[in-house]
Copies of this chain bind each other. A is one copy, B any other.
Amino acid sequence: MADQRYTIQQLAQEFGVTARALRFYEDKGLIAPARRGQTRVYSDRDRTRVRLVLRGQRLGFSLEECREIIDMYDPRQAGSARQLLRLCDKIREHRADLLQKLRDIEATLVTMGEVEAKCFAELLKSDVNVRKAG
Q: Mark A98-124, 1 if CB is under 8 A from B, else 0.
A: 101110110111011001101110110
Q: Does A34 contact B (CB under 8 A)?
A: no
Residues of B close to A55: CB separation below 8 A: 104, 107-108
With A91-B115, A123-B84 known as contacts, the answer to whether A105 contacts B72 (CB < 8 A) is: no
Stretch at the interface among A1-9, A12-20, A25-33, A57-65: A57-65
16 further interface pairs, Cβ-Cβ under 8 Å (given A91-B112, A98-B112): A55-B107, A60-B60, A73-B112, A78-B119, A78-B122, A81-B123, A81-B126, A81-B127, A84-B119, A84-B122, A87-B115, A88-B116, A88-B119, A94-B112, A98-B105, A101-B105
Measuring CB to CB, which residues of chain A are less than 8 angstroms from any residue of chain B?
Answer: 55-61, 69, 72-73, 78, 80-81, 84-85, 87-88, 91, 94-95, 98, 100-102, 104-105, 107-109, 111-112, 115-116, 118-120, 122-123, 126-127, 130
